[in-house]
Structure 1
Amino acid sequence: MYYLKLLKAFYRNAILVELEYRVNFLINVFMTAFWFAWTLVSVRIFYRFTDTIGGWTYPEALLVIGLFSCANAVIWGLVRPNVEKLVEGIRSGTFDFVLMKPVNSQFIASLRHLVIWQFSNLALGIAVLFIASPQLNRSISAGSWLLFALLLVCGLVIVYSIGLAVVSIAFWAVRIDNMIELFNSVFETARYPVDAFPGWARGLLTFVVPVAFITTVPAAVVIGKLTIWWGGAAVVLAVGSLVFSSAIWSYAVKHYASASS
């Protein structure tokens, strides 16, 4: 409950800061909607010349795009701003003040900052999910939607865990800009069903850098392209990645040498 109150205070402050410049906020939301619409148009152009891509129909691909938009909101609205603030704090030594607070350092360093307009991606993604579902060749039951929601949460946990592991490297290599951009570039592949890529790339995106579990796997499990056991694998991977990234964080913090000392 204490941590929930902290999050409420953090995000309330973030919203107030954003709304100080309302025109800028509205412009950012508009541009987010524009680029999202552009993605939908580009995918629709592909499907004008074929019924399936990698075995996925247009409505099924829309599910993946909706999931990608939801994950994108978390990356750019939550993970990225906290990564940038943390790297800056490590470089300048102000991270010391995070460690001095009577709060778990991982919690405050990875969840404190929020870019609220980025979460328009979340609303757009959810809207596409509900628009695409009636167009599928099969009905999705309430239980399937619950499973879908669980796998969506697993995907977001995996995104958070990868971001936490990447930023932990900043304790040894202060400048990790190239690594962050590499992660963003790899994550962009999650915009499309992983089956649309060559075999070697599918293996890489599923088992090495598991972006497939963020978008493709949740959609494929719910529409029957994969068995429910893949859903179980997603849960195990989410829990495992969170535990692993938290362990890296703890190790990094223990070996942190303040830039101000």
Structure 2
Amino acid sequence: MFYFTMFFQYIGQYMKTRLEYRADLVVEIVSDLLSQAINLIFILVVFGHTDFLNGWTREEIIFIYGFFLVPYALFTSFFNIWDFNERYIVKGELDRILTRPVHSLFQVILERMELESLFGAVTGLAVMFYSGSRLGLEVNWYDPLLFALFVLGGVLVYAGIFIMIACISFWADARTSIMPMMYNIGNYGRYPVDIYNKVIRFVLTWVLPFAFVGVYPAAFFLGRKEWYFYSFLTPLIGLVFFGVSVMLWNKGVKKYSGAGN
């Protein structure tokens, strides 16, 4: 209950500060929506020259992209730790975090949240409904429950990977460029993995499992039975990667010696 209460207190303070600068908030929301629109236009342009991509139709690719946007939006809202190295290690702000009687990762996550990114989830749902109606997909009573479970698994996959990357800073506190590169690799998860060669497919499934954020869980709702096994692995993969990342974080905090010389 303590952490539950703290969570909503952080959100309340965040909303107060963001609403002080409404124009800036609106600009950020619009820019995020434009970025998503550009990615969707790219997909449409690709399918302007071909009707199928290794057996996947345009509507199926669009559906996968829409699904991908939902867990990605939740991730960018609550796990926005791309600048952890520079802000908390190089500048020493982690020292402030560690003086408080709350888990350090919990504080870092809530300090860096950007709730305006949640609009990306709305966009993703709209894209899914559009493509799903074109495909004639039927909605079963259990689909919303599985959707929520798969989305949560996708969020934990993303969070686990990026928390692990942030943990590198505990052992090597120099500035690195791994985060931006990993964000770019993560975009591969919004396309069917069978369009890549076997090495990339293996990496996106078991090493950097971004495929569990988009194509694998979305394949269940598309009726792609050959991918059902991977679809139901999504929550498990998410729990494993997130659990390992938290353990690595705890070890890293013990290793951290402060910003002093």
Q: TM-score, normalised by structure 1?
A: 0.90
Relative to structure 2, which stretch is displaced further, 15-24 or 243-252? 15-24
Please list the CA deviations of residues 159-191 of structure 1 after superposition, one character each: whole Å capped at 9, or x if unmatched.
111111111111112235411012111112123
Inter-CA distance 64–199: structure 2 relative to 1 (3 Å threshold): same
Partner residue, 1:56? 56
8 Å Cα contact 1:221/1:227 also seen in 2: yes
Please list the CA deviations of residues 114-133 of structure 1 after superposition, one character each: whole Å capped at 9, or x if unmatched.
12222221221122122222
Q: TM-score, normalised by structure 2?
A: 0.90
Match status 1:70 vs 2:70: yes
Please list the CA deviations of residues 194-237 of structure 1 after superposition, one character each: whole Å capped at 9, or x if unmatched.
22323332222112211101101011122221354323322221
8 Å Cα contact 2:164/2:248 also seen in 1: yes
Match status 1:108 vs 2:107: yes
Partner residue, 1:175? 174
For 1:66-105, what aligned pairs fall within 5 Å after superposition? 66-80=66-80, 82-85=81-84, 87-105=86-104
8 Å Cα contact 1:140/1:223 also seen in 2: no
In structure 1, how many angstroms separate the alpha carbons of the residues matched to 2:47 and 2:70? 23
| Matched residue type, 1:66 | G
Partner residue, 1:205? 204
In structure 2, how many angstroms separate the alpha carbons of the residues matched to 1:155 and 1:234? 7
| Matched residue type, 2:2 | Y
In structure 2, how many angstroms separate the alpha carbons of the residues matched to 1:192 and 1:235? 19
Partner residue, 1:142? 141
Partner residue, 1:131? 130
In structure 1, how many angstroms separate the alpha carbons of the residues matched to 2:248 and 2:175? 16
For 1:153-232, what aligned pairs fall within 5 Å after superposition? 153-225=152-224, 226-232=226-232
Please list the CA deviations of residues 14-67 of structure 1 after superposition, one character each: whole Å capped at 9, or x if unmatched.
222222221121122222222222222221122233222122222211222112
Deviation at 1:91, TM superposition (A): 2.0
In structure 2, how many angstroms separate the alpha carbons of the residues matched to 1:111 and 1:86? 16
In structure 1, how many angstroms separate the alpha carbons of the residues matched to 2:174 and 2:126? 37
In structure 2, how many angstroms separate the alpha carbons of the residues matched to 1:133 and 1:246? 36
In structure 2, how many angstroms separate the alpha carbons of the residues matched to 1:30 and 1:77? 15
| Matched residue type, 1:76 | T
Deviation at 1:157, TM superposition (A): 0.6
8 Å Cα contact 1:10/1:113 also seen in 2: no
Match status 1:118 vs 2:117: yes
Q: Secondary structure at the match of 2:177?
A: helix
| Matched residue type, 1:68 | F
Deviation at 1:87, TM superposition (A): 4.2
Please list the CA deviations of residues 65-93 of structure 1 after superposition, one character each: whole Å capped at 9, or x if unmatched.
1122223323433323x342564222233
Partner residue, 2:243? 243
Identical-residue share of aligned pairs (%): 25
8 Å Cα contact 2:91/2:259 also seen in 1: yes
Count of aligned positions: 260
| Matched residue type, 2:96 | F
Deviation at 1:152, TM superposition (A): 1.2
In structure 1, how many angstroms separate the alpha carbons of the residues matched to 2:27 and 2:259? 38
In structure 2, how many angstroms separate the alpha carbons of the residues matched to 1:195 and 1:227? 11
Q: Secondary structure at the match of 1:45?
A: helix
| Matched residue type, 2:115 | I
